[in-house]
């Protein structure tokens, strides 16, 4: 049935949505894991404030994040002008989709990864270090293998968030068919145009995608919990 | 339950009840976004003489018509084109005899105020990488702009550069914030922002006819008041306000 309602353009925009979400998730992995590890090990002052700040995008309206990003990257700001001079406009371009979705997804990755890192016994890492491992080697050989399920679950959660982001994306990247329109925006747009059949078909595809991602994430988290 | 808890519970219940109870003397006017300021100037006068509070719901006319079709509680619909009103007439939400064609407008090309670019003829639009429009598939201002560019044979070449926005004010804002180098809006919108300048005014003979239509909704529980408001919009006081804002007031039906 979906085949009749969804055209080639719809399949392209679903592919675009998946690509941007995947690229964004890959991009936030290195800084996200570094921050998560730092938060898991750090015990000093300001930890609570930093963690709260980091969680803000989870609880703020996405439109609030959208307006902050617009204020930072608009063509009127020095940053916006500099990027435009380099041919890297963010507003109303696919880079805007990437920016908005990754900002919204970042805290999910960091929170899950932090929990996973916190569950790694620091004595094991210390043991590896006394046996002559470099810090990096200890991280790769001890910490990562023990925490990988939690990290993967967080990565999938971040990916799912990026797939479905709407509010910040429509403000920063606009809703340009074939260029910045993601599946979430296309559902809204189709509804605006009175094409509720197409909107429902796209929603169905998103339900299926989100189910697979979340189910995988939950399954990994459960196995992680069982091991811990 | 302890007494203080009961008191708090009662207070919250009263607050919710008071907030959600509909006030009977409100007229819900669903109006094209381009009418915002003019209606803001006109409403207080009507409120004083009638004792009815005007509640504006502003947006793209297509979006408003969709809300009304879905059962939104509207008493008056002020559409920036006849297409959206005709849709409501065809579904019975508006009686054909209640539709008044009352305003017109002019399309203009706007640029950020500091832009050095010039638009002396429509073909000069091809120099811009992006063109901010109200969604040309649905929102009246965008549909008018598309029909103008189609008549000139420019649409095919410009379509890929169009940034379609939710309504005409969003298109104005995209240019004002310098997120788009050019846009097409109504003359009345351009006059509101010092961050944009009008680079080209579409001659009325060249563009499609722009017609704003007003109607009281058939199923409004306050149909008489709704009709009175539409009549008020066509009165001499309101006419002066619309003309001051740059609208063209149509006479007759």
Query: Are B215 and B31 spatial neighbours (Cβ–Cβ below 8 Å)?
Result: no
Under the banding of pLDDT at 50, 70 and 90, the label for residue B81 is very high
How confident is the model at residue B235, as a pLDDT? 94
| Residues B163-184 pLDDT 10s | 999 999 999 999 999 999 999 9
Q: Phi-psi region for residue B47, left (φ > 0), alpha (ψ -120 to 50) or beta?
A: alpha
* Smallest Cα distance from A143 to chain B, Å: 45
Whole-angstrom CA distances from A12 to A2, A19, A163 are: 14, 10, 14
How confident is the model at residue A44, as a pLDDT? 87
Q: What is the C-alpha to C-alpha distance for residues B38 and B45, in angstroms, rounded to an integer?
A: 12
Interface test with A, best of B164, B179, B180, B195 (most A CBs within 10 A): B179
How confident is the model at residue A2, as a pLDDT? 46
How confident is the model at residue B19, as a pLDDT? 60
pLDDT at B98 over 60: yes
What is the arithmetic mean of pLDDT over B175-194? Answer: 96
Q: Report the percentage of chain B scoring pLDDT > 70.
A: 95
Query: Cβ of A75 and B163 within 8 Å?
Result: no
Average pLDDT, whole number, for chain B?
92
pLDDT at B85 over 90: yes
Print pLDDT tens along chain A (228 aa): 444 578 888 999 999 999 999 999 999 999 999 999 999 988 889 888 999 999 999 999 999 999 999 999 988 899 998 998 898 989 999 999 999 999 999 999 999 999 999 999 989 988 999 998 998 899 889 999 999 989 999 999 999 999 999 999 999 999 888 889 999 999 998 888 778 899 999 999 999 999 998 898 888 777 766 765
How confident is the model at residue A219, as a pLDDT? 87
How confident is the model at residue A4, as a pLDDT? 58
pTM of the model: 0.82
How many C-beta atoms surround the C-beta of residue A149 within 10 A? Answer: 21
The answer to whether B250 contacts chain A (CB < 8 Å) is: no
> Quick one: how far is CA B106 from the chain centroid?
14
Local structure of residue B23 (DSSP, 8 states): P
Closest residue to A92, CB basis, from B62, B160, B180: B180
What is the arithmetic mean of pLDDT over B113-126? Answer: 96
Q: Which among B131, B142, B228, B121 is positioned nearest to B183, based on CA atoms?
A: B131
Query: Are B125 and B109 spatial neighbours (Cβ–Cβ below 8 Å)?
Result: yes
The answer to whether A91 contacts chain B (CB < 8 Å) is: yes
The answer to whether B66 contacts chain A (CB < 8 Å) is: yes
Interface test with A, best of B33, B161, B163 (most A CBs within 10 A): B163
What are the residue ranges of helices labelled H in B119-201?
140-151, 155-158, 168-176, 187-190
Q: What is the C-alpha to C-alpha distance for residues B105 and B184, in angstroms, rounded to an integer?
A: 13
Closest residue to B164, CB basis, from A70, A80, A176: A176
pLDDT at B71 over 70: yes
Q: What is the C-alpha to C-alpha distance for residues A145 and A128, in angstroms, rounded to an integer?
A: 13
pLDDT at B22 over 60: no
pLDDT at B151 over 90: yes
Q: What is the C-alpha to C-alpha distance for residues A202 and B192, in angstroms, rounded to an integer?
A: 38
Q: Which among A90, A103, A102 is positioned nearest to A172, based on CA atoms?
A: A90
Query: Are B133 and B57 spatial neighbours (Cβ–Cβ below 8 Å)?
Result: no
* Strands (E) located in A11-166: none
What is the arithmetic mean of pLDDT over B9-27? Answer: 71
How confident is the model at residue B47, as a pLDDT? 94
Q: What is the C-alpha to C-alpha distance for residues B33 and B230, in angstroms, rounded to an integer?
A: 17
């Amino acid at each position: 049935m979906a085949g009749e309602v969804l055209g080639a353009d719809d399949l392209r925009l679903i592919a675009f949505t998946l690509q941007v979400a995947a690229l964004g998730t890959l991009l936030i992995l290195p800084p996200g894991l570094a921050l998560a590890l730092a938060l898991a090990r750090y015990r000093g002052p300001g930890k609570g404030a930093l963690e709260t700040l980091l969680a803000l995008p989870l609880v703020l309206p996405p439109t609030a994040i959208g307006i902050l990003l617009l204020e930072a990257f608009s063509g009127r700001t020095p940053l916006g002008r500099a990027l435009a001079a380099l041919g890297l406009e963010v507003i109303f371009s696919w880079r805007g989709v990437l920016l908005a979705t990754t900002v919204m997804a970042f805290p999910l990755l960091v929170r899950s990864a932090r929990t996973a890192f916190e569950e790694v016994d620091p004595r094991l890492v210390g043991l590896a270090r006394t046996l002559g491992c470099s810090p990096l080697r200890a991280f790769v050989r001890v910490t990562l293998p023990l925490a990988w399920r939690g990290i993967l679950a967080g990565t999938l959660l971040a990916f799912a968030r990026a797939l479905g982001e709407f509010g910040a994306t429509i403000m920063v990247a606009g809703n340009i068919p074939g260029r910045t329109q993601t599946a979430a925006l296309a559902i809204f747009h189709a509804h605006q145009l009175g094409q509720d059949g197409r909107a429902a078909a796209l929603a169905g595809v998103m339900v299926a995608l989100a189910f697979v991602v979340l189910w995988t994430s939950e399954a990994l988290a459960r196995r992680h919990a069982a091991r811990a | 339950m302890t007494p203080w808890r009961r008191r708090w519970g009662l207070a919250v219940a009263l607050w919710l009840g008071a907030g959600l109870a509909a006030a009977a003397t409100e007229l819900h006017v669903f109006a094209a976004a381009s009418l915002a300021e003019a209606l803001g100037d006109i409403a207080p006068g009507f409120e004083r003489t009638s004792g009815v509070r005007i509640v504006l719901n502003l947006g793209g006319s297509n979006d408003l018509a969709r809300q009304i079709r879905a059962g939104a509680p509207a008493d008056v619909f002020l559409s920036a084109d006849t297409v959206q009103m005709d849709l409501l007439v065809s579904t019975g939400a508006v009686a054909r005899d209640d539709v008044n064609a009352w305003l017109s407008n002019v399309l203009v090309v706007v640029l950020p105020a500091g832009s050095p670019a010039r638009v002396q003829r429509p073909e000069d639009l091809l120099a811009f990488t992006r063109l901010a429009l109200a969604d040309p598939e649905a929102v009246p201002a965008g549909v008018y702009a598309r029909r103008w560019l189609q008549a000139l044979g420019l649409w095919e070449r410009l379509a890929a550069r169009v940034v379609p926005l939710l309504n005409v004010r969003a298109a104005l804002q995209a240019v004002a914030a310098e997120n788009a180098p050019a846009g097409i809006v109504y003359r009345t919108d351009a006059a509101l922002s010092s961050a944009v300048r009008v680079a080209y005014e579409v001659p009325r003979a060249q563009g499609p006819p722009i017609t704003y239509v007003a109607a009281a909704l058939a199923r409004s529980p306050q149909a008489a008041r709704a009709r009175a408001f539409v009549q008020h919009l066509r009165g001499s006081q309101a006419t002066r306000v619309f003309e001051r804002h740059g609208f063209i007031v149509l006479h007759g039906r």
